């Protein structure tokens, strides 16, 4: 609960409904106010107590006395020539994270972050070059979504149709907050978004993948595999030294048995590293263990990595081999490369970003 006097106030959005109800009980206020406050926080996305206009002024003052709002704020935005918008968000403690709005003709996707920096240090990813600072709270992730949803409405007259949790950080190393954020976003008391419109992307933390299975989650899961060869994977993804390919395979099998959700494997094609026929054979063998889809992703260059993307001919040959093994394969085209908004490019650059107003669709 919040603390009175000169002690630091607690962010009210760290409280669950029971906590808020307890506050009103102890305050001898009407208990239905708890539901009103909860709806203001999560259904309407209120940024202050003053916005809660159906509450008496005395109630709002009491809330203000005990609690705070640690809202995130837009620091800078940048628009790509393909209409993708990358945003730097400033957190209440001054840290910066990034998120991306990816619009199409009739839908829009928010790519959100889960950590300030990232502890995994993948060699191909700009975010991996940053020092890990801390996890994001569920409320900060919620704000992320709310602000990007507003960008979609204001710039392109689109509703937010999808969320991909694959920005900065490793979601499964911030498990509790990510699960709470998804719970709020999908609940009727929150944004009421269907879970099948949400995808969580992980580098592969077997214990947590199994935990998702035990919780029988309804959202989608993707695993950034990038190679089914342990030696190669450990050389570009240090996390593989602790969680090797075999352990990830076993976790995915367990997850599918529990949820019956077909996972997606993300495979970043790197020229002369993981794009050969033997690499495709190893991936096909890995995929025989469970139903899956494979997203082949083009590598997006960044100043922290010396890798190059595979050529078009190699990419098509790689995909064709997998399809010959009756695997579902999609070749993904990157969005927002010109503003460093594509996969693997989010790195909180300190240069000034000038906002460009979006053209009308």
Please list the active-site residues. Answer: 98, 343
Cα(309)–Cα(307) distance, rounded to whole angstroms?
7
Say how many C-beta atoms besides its own lie within 10 A of residue 337's C-beta: 18
Distances, alpha carbon 286 to alpha carbons 167, 209, 247, 328, in Å: 26, 17, 12, 14
Q: Would you call 55 exposed, middle or buried from its count of C-beta atoms within 10 A (0-12, 13-18, 19+)?
A: buried
Contacts of residue 168, defined as CB under 8 A and 6 or more positions apart, other chains included, come to 97, 98, 113, 114, 115, 116, 117, 118, 127, 130, 346, 348
108-111 and 96-103 strand pairing: antiparallel
100 contacts 86 by C-beta, under 8 angstroms: yes
DSSP type of residue 29: -
134-135 and 96-103 strand pairing: unpaired
Cα(360)–Cα(303) distance, rounded to whole angstroms?
33
């Amino acid at each position: 609960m919040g603390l009175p006097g000169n002690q630091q106030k607690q962010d009210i959005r760290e409280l669950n409904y029971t906590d808020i109800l307890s506050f009103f009980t102890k305050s001898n206020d009407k208990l239905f106010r708890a539901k009103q406050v909860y709806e203001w926080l999560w259904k309407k996305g209120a940024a202050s107590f003053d916005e809660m206009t159906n509450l008496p002024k005395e109630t709002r003052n009491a809330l203000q006395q005990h609690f705070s709002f640690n809202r995130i704020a837009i620091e800078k935005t940048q628009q790509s020539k393909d209409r993708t918008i990358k945003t730097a968000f400033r957190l209440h403690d001054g840290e910066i994270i990034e998120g991306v709005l990816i619009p199409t003709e009739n839908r829009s996707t928010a790519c959100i972050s889960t950590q300030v920096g990232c502890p995994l240090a993948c060699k191909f990813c700009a975010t991996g070059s940053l020092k890990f600072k801390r996890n994001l709270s569920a409320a900060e992730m919620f704000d992320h979504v709310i602000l990007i949803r507003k960008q979609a409405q204001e710039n392109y007259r689109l509703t937010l149709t999808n969320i991909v949790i694959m920005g900065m950080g490793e979601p499964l190393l911030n498990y509790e907050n990510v699960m709470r954020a998804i719970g709020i976003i999908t609940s009727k008391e929150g944004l009421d978004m269907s879970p099948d419109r949400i995808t969580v992307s992980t580098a592969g933390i077997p214990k947590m993948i199994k935990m998702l299975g035990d919780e029988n989650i309804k959202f989608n899961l993707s695993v950034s595999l990038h190679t089914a060869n342990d030696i190669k994977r450990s050389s570009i993804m240090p996390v593989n030294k602790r969680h090797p390919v075999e352990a990830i395979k076993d976790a995915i099998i367990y997850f599918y048995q529990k949820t019956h959700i077909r996972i997606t494997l993300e495979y970043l094609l790197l020229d002369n590293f993981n794009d050969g026929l033997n690499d495709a054979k190893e991936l096909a063998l890995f995929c025989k263990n469970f139903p899956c889809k494979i997203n082949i992703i083009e590598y997006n260059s960044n100043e922290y990595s010396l890798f190059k993307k595979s050529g078009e001919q190699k990419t098509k040959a790689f995909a064709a081999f997998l399809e010959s093994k009756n695997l579902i394969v999609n070749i993904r085209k990157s969005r927002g490369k010109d503003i460093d908004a594509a996969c693997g490019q989010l790195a909180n650059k300190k240069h000034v970003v000038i906002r460009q107003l979006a053209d009308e669709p």
